[in-house]
Amino acid sequence: MAKGAPPTIEVLLVEDDERFAKRMVKNLESEGFQVSWAPRGDEALETVKASSFSLMLADIKMPGMNGLELLEAI
């Protein structure tokens, strides 16, 4: 990282709509965020266990484990 450069902010996006997720990833990356995407809550939970993130954006309505259940599990 160059001197004076802002730190990389790692974001986990949890979204089951692939088209919307791809747009969000593109937009966030264009703003300098490093983005990981998980299409399901259970997959996001495993990702959180393996890595650390500064921010998580989670869809509330998803099949299986929804965003609120994911937050409760974390």
Domain boundaries, the chain: 10-73
Averaged pLDDT of the chain = 91
Q: Does residue 2 register a pLDDT over 80?
A: no
Q: In 10 A of CB 7, how many CB atoms? A: 7
Is 36 strand, coil or helix? strand
Q: Could you tell me the pTM of the whole model? A: 0.85
Side-chain-side CA neighbours of 9 within 13 Å: the count stands at 13
| Dist CA 39 CA 43 (whole Å) | 7
**If pLDDT is split at 50, 70 and 90, which confidence band does 4 have?**
low
Kindly state the tokens that stand for 6. Answer: 């802002």
For the segment 13-19, the average pLDDT, to the nearest whole number, is 96
Query: What's the confidence (pLDDT) of residue 8?
Result: 85
The third-level CATH classification (topology) of the domain covering 10-73 is Rossmann fold (3.40.50)
For the segment 23-42, the average pLDDT, to the nearest whole number, is 95
